Structure 1
Amino acid sequence: MKKKGYFIRKSTVLIFLMFFCSKLQAASITDAETVIGDLFSSLTDSDEGTTSFRSLLIPFGGRTESLGNAYTGLCDDISYLRFNPAAGSIQKETQIALFHNSWIADSKLETLGFTTRFKNTPHLSAGGYLSCFYMPFTEYNFFGDRVAASYYTETVAALNASYNLLAGYDFKGLAAGITLKAGWRGMPDYTDNDSGAIIAGSGLSQSALAVMADIGFMLQFNFLKYYSSRDPNVRIGISAQNVGVSITGFGDSIKLDDPLPTTVSAGISLKFIKPITLSFDFVQPLNLMDFSHYRIPYFNTGLSIQFASFISFLAGFSLKGANPRISSGFEFEVAKIRLNMNYTLDLTTSLAPLNRISLSAKLLLGDKGRSITDAQVDEYYQLGLKYYADAKWEDAIIVWQEALKLNKRFDPAIQGIQSARYQIEMFQQIRESLMLD
């Protein structure tokens, strides 16, 4: 009887699971999108889509998108050019990068970027990028015949400069940066509805020129880390992006275009456990042409888990309006080449054709000898500690002064010299008092 009862219960559970799975399988992707859309409908922004140069809101792709675009307070690679212009001065290596982002439908974003820190002024950096967003623009007449085929484009060129103020070993400095950008929206010529002929210059009148700037700051420090370290475990960043204007009407009457997608963002990244990094962003859109139009803020969060020195898993979540977004990807590093692959799932993702995939390839060109210099500084410092322990304070001071010639902001050597001089002074006072006795 026990076996029979067990069999009945097991069969009942199995039938229930089969029924549930069949219902789940019957539910279409459209139904799921409808449920999610209804759930977040209260976050719909009525002013969404009212800005020009919308491609400025699209991430380069790869690492940043895998982290849910929670990057304002992280910015540990060349993708900082898109999120926080201050971070160029804290990059470890010179980088050249290519990005590809397959966005919605047939639209794509391609980007080429470069960044470096100067050898003789290591706290100063320069960089820039060139990006092009494009999508097919095809026009048909009333009979369904294709009469015009070209591309709608948005091209942006940017130059960046950053400086890390008062950077040292204990206090990592306050980085400040600016990126100057110019953008061109290219609209192809279209046809006359009556004659079907292409109107020369019609696209130019709807094209636009944008001039703007990004401004950012970044602070990095150690928190709850009870030992000295060059690598901070906390970074905080703030950034104002796309502050500027756009004009249109070329060949006709020049006028102001719709406002640019200006945003102010604040972010933080935490790395309390070495292989795990968490990042969080708060982003507030602004309408610089009409501040009375309040825009709903949005939130991003990201997670990075480094399994080995050459591979990491990345995941992110972004809550922007009524379209929540989940992303994930991997990062590989082989022979000074860092590769990122990402896939994003939201209410605009399509499986036919497959989109929302982004890739990046970064060439790491070295740190211009900074790591070698740091190793020499550490060697001098360790030798100074040995002299100090042996009460050879004068020798310790000489060695630590050599360390400061290589890095004048190496705080342990500065503190060591102060301590050694104090020991010398105290020893002399003791010796003088003994001589008097």
Structure 2
Amino acid sequence: MKKTLLFNILFYFVIISFLYSAGETSFNFLKISQGARQSGLGEAFTGVADDVNAIYWNPAGLAQLTRQQVCLLHSVWLVDVNYEYLAYAIPVIGVGTFGIYGTFLAGHITITDENPVTGQYIITDDIARASDINITLAYAKKLSEIVGDNSVFSDMYAGLNINITMENIYEDTGNGFGTNLGILYYPRYQNYSFGLMILNAGIASERPTLPFAIKLGFGYRFSFENILSPFTDEGYYKFSENDSALAIDLIYYPIEQTTKANFGAEKYWNLNKFHSVAVRLGYKFGSDLGLLAGLTVGAGYRLTLNENFQFDFDYAFVPYGDLGESHRISITGKMFGPAETNYFENKEEAVKYYKEGYELLYNKKYAEAILKFSESLKRYKNYAQAYMGMGACFLRLGKKETAKKVYELALQNDPNNQKLKEFIESTKWDIK
């Protein structure tokens, strides 16, 4: 009797299991990252989750979306295996955000037989195929739409996804069902965010289990050119557009009893109002394939047609040591709505903080007043009176140079204020 050898077709699934430490689990292709941007960030995205790929990384992040998004990814994986990914998300006002994605991983190899007489291996005309298919549905909602804007939960987002998986390796098949739960905390007017994700809380048939994991993520957005502003007086009144991000993920696999950490950073440069470019760098700690195998690099190009249409073209290079490397390319379209932001103009709250700051200024509590005026400006960045109040505080604290800058910002936002203009011109600033 002939012995059929499927070494090659099984080999790439062995690689997948090895890469993801999956000796006790099946469906390990579910750990393959979705999105070239996220791959370039070292797969640290749980605490950021700000685009359509949040369906996979943290479904709660979908609630941040203000427009429809679609992402298409192609990855040349190991051993000539192709990996395809398509995702779509749509926010529905008053209801929440819905998302769906599908993945397809496939490869094939010619079967060889062993001749029982000679012991030689003969290439046949038969083909052995293997494939993995996953379909995931997701839903997310802002908790502020449920509990209101004044609750401790108002800055939180919650989401879940349900995935159905089908795995086929030659004549062996397996099916699985999993549920992922996510929470994202992203305070309004702040640059930091936290994410929590429970992955694959489900069951699998004809396989031991789905890969179960708990992820904790942190994200921080900032302006690279003004990175030190938060540590200086400028941080109270200068709110630059964020063009950079840092992200950290901690992942715990209870079944494998391992903990891993991922780190990522990205920087955007605006060439003009239509074109932007980005670079990304990431590192996945705990790789079994050597130090360089944890390194990831990426690049991106953003085309902004207008405020309602934007397209991102992203690339990532992910090495796997002696096993080779993976190239990932994705296109993300963001359509039919304004860009996502954590800035929400609220003049009513701005006036409230301004009045509190003015009272503190009147009582000579200048440092506390500056904080109130700063909160006012975060909610209404063109509020001239708040700049004037802050300028008065800095002036009384003896910080004349800073005071002058703030007063000039007040004048920029209220150019017809003749008294303010005369005050700036007549004051002896004595700035060296």
Q: Scaled by the length of structure 2, what TM-score is found? A: 0.63
Structure 1 pair 68/173, CA: closer, same or farther in 2 (3 Å)? same
Residues in 2 aligned to 1:45 and 1:109: alpha-carbon distance in whole angstroms? 16
Which of 1 and 2 has greater Rg?
1
Out of 259, 284, 295, the residue aligned to residue 252 of structure 2 is 284
Map 1:19-58; keep pairs closer than 5 Å: 48-58=22-32
| Distance across 2 between alignment mates of 1:57 and 1:163 | 25
Which of 296, 300, 320 is the matching residue for 1:327?
A: 296
- Aligned-pair CA distance for 1:348: 4.5
Q: Decide which of 317, 326, 337 is 1:356's aligned counterpart.
A: 326
- Aligned partner of 1:159 in structure 2 is 137
CA distance in 1, matches of 2:89, 2:187: 23
SS in 2 for 1:56: helix
Q: How many residues align?
A: 299
Give 1:300's aligned amino acid: N
Shift of 1:265: 0.5
Q: Does the 8 Å CA contact 1:349/1:356 hold for their aligned counterparts?
A: no
Which of 51, 60, 67 matches 2:41?
A: 67
Matched, 1:125 2:90: no
Q: Which residue of 2 aligns with 1:104?
A: 78
For the residue of structure 2 that corresponds to 1:55, the secondary structure is helix
Q: Does 1:179 align with 2:161?
A: yes
Residues 339/148 of structure 1: CA separation in 2 closer, same or farther (3 Å cut): same
Deviation, 1:104, is 1.7
Measure the CA separation in 1 of the matches of 2:257 and 2:19. Answer: 7
Deviation at 1:91, TM superposition (A): 2.0
Structure 2 stretches of 5 or more lacking a match?
Answer: 1-17, 115-120, 224-241, 356-377, 384-432
Instruction: Please state how far the C-alpha of 1:382 moved relative to its aligned partner.
Output: 11
Matched, 1:93 2:67: yes
Task: Tell me which amino acid in the other structure corresponds to 1:329.
Answer: G
Task: Please give the alpha-carbon distance, in whole angstroms, between the structure 2 residues aligned to 1:77 and 1:46.
Answer: 25
User: Does the 8 Å contact 1:45/1:295 carry over to 2?
Assistant: no
Distance of 2:79 and 2:262 partners within structure 1: 23
Q: State the secondary structure of the residue aligned to 2:197.
A: strand
Q: What residue in structure 2 maps to residue 198 of structure 1?
A: none
What's the CA shift string for 1:255-285, capped at 9, x where partnerless?
A: xx12211111101011243322110000011
Aligned-residue offset at 1:296: 1.6
Q: Alpha-carbon deviation of 1:169?
A: 9.8
| Matched residue type, 1:322 | D
State the percentage of identical aligned residues.
16
Q: In the alignment, what sits opposite 1:136?
A: 108
Contact 2:65 2:340 in 1 (8 A): no
2 CA distance for matches of 1:45 and 1:370?
Answer: 36
The answer to whether the 8 A contact 1:133-1:153 is kept is yes
Q: Deviations over 1:233-268 (max 9, x none)?
A: 1110010112211112xxxxxxxx122111111010
Q: 1:216 aligns with which of 182, 188, 199?
A: 182
**One-letter code of the match for 1:282?**
L
Distance verdict in 2 for CA 1:327–1:321, change over 3 Å: closer
Aligned to 2:218: 268
Shift of 1:103: 2.1
Sort the Cα spacing of 1:209 and 1:239 in 2 relative to 1 into closer, same or farther, 3 A: same
Match of 1:365 in 2: 335
Alignment of 1:290-329 (within 5 A): 294-308=256-270, 310-323=276-289, 324-329=293-298
Structure 1 contact 59–65 (Cα < 8 Å) conserved: yes
Correspondent of 1:236 among 188, 194, 201? 194
Q: Distance in 2 between matches of 1:50 and 1:137?
A: 26
Instruction: After TM superposition, give the deviation of residue 412 of structure 1 in Å.
Output: 6.1
* Whole-Å separation in 2 of the counterparts to 1:102 and 1:312: 22
Question: 2 CA distance for matches of 1:218 and 1:114?
Answer: 20
Pairwise CA distance, 1:183: 0.5
- Aligned with 1:82 (options 43, 52, 56): 56
Gaps of 5+ in 1: 1-43, 189-202, 223-228, 249-256, 288-293, 389-410, 417-437
Query: Is contact 2:20-2:31 (8 Å) kept?
Result: no
Q: Which amino acid aligns with 1:295?
A: Q
What is residue 404 of structure 2 aligned with on the other side? none
Q: Which residue of 2 aligns with 1:245?
A: 203
Q: TM-score, normalised by structure 1?
A: 0.62
CA distance in 1, matches of 2:286, 2:74: 22
Q: How far apart in 1 are the matches of 2:72 and 2:348?
A: 40
Shift of 1:53: 0.8
How far residue 344 of structure 1 moved from its aligned partner, in angstroms, is: 1.3
What letter matches 2:48 in structure 1?
L
The amino acid across from 1:244 in the alignment is G
Q: Kindly indicate whether the alpha-carbon contact (under 8 Å) linking 1:118 and 1:125 is maintained by their aligned counterparts in 2.
A: yes
Q: Which residue among 115, 119, 125 is the counterpart of 2:89? A: 115
Distance 1:383 1:50, change over 3 A: closer
Deviations 1:205-230 (A, max 9, x none): x20110111101010126xxxxxx3x
Q: 4+ residue stretches of structure 1 with deviation over 2 A?
A: 44-50, 167-172, 272-276, 369-372, 380-385
> Is the contact between residue 169 and residue 412 of structure 1 (CA under 8 Å) also seen in structure 2?
no
